Amino acid sequence: MTWRWSAGNWRWNARRIVISAFVLFHLSALAIWTNPDCLIKDRCSPLFRYYMLPLGIWQWWAVFAPDPLRDTQYLNVEVIDSKGLRHLYEFPRIGDLSWWQKLFHYRDPKFVSNMVMDEYAKHRVFTARHAVRQLGLREDAFPLTASLFYELRPTPPPGTPAADPMAPKPILVIDRIQIASYKEVRP
């Protein structure tokens, strides 16, 4: 049997090469991103940052032993408009969602934890703009200030009673973002 070059074979081979290149790129990104801190990770992770971060597929080792996260974090945005009125936007809480809605929000706790890090400063601006859009503020509410903060609800150690639900929760302000006009929020 002889192999003949044809337009159909060329297209199939090109498609296989593109798919293989993408799979190789994706697996390389995951392998380098999940490595512990080392020289290879330090040098190569900036190459994959613009792929991993926007898609939310980065790996996060804080959920594993020996010291996993034990606290529940809730992200909120407080908006103070040009008239001095206060608006509060609370991001969805996974515990309040139905089982099928949870499927689309399973990465939310990781998102909240990463908002604190400086490398996510641009994400904080996008997050504040999203909250302002969700609040449905009109053009006369601008300029405004959006403060991103999260509430921390400590999980009691095993075998101890639940924490007092009326006790004040620690609040950490992550960032304050000035939004000058309605056009900044509505792309």
Do 80 and 86 form a contact (C-beta atoms < 8 A)? yes
- Give which of 113, 146, 120 is closest to 54, Cα–Cα: 120
pLDDT of residue 92: 81
* Distance in angstroms (rounded) separating the CA atoms of residues 49 and 41: 11
Give the predicted TM-score (pTM) of the model: 0.66
Q: How confident is the model at residue 77 (pLDDT cuts 50, 70, 90)?
A: very high
DSSP state of 137: -
pLDDT of residue 56: 67
pLDDT of residue 78: 93
Q: Is the pLDDT of residue 2 over 60?
A: no
- Looking at the chain, the whole-number percentage of residues with pLDDT higher than 90 is 20
- Collapse the DSSP code of 4 into the 3-class scheme (helix H, G, I; strand E, B; otherwise coil) and give the result: coil
H-assigned helices in the chain: 7-34, 39-55, 99-102, 108-114, 121-135, 182-185
Packing angle of the helix pair 39-55, 7-34 (nearest 10 deg)? 110
- Give which of 167, 173, 179, 181 is closest to 76, Cα–Cα: 173
pLDDT of residue 107: 66
Cα torsion for 108, 34, 25, 121, to the nearest 10°?
50
Mean pLDDT of 131-139: 90
Mean pLDDT of 104-132: 80
What is the tens place of the pLDDT at every residue in 90-104?
Answer: 888 877 878 888 777
What is the tens place of the pLDDT at every residue in 4-17?
Answer: 555 568 788 888 99
Domain boundaries, the chain: 7-57, 62-185
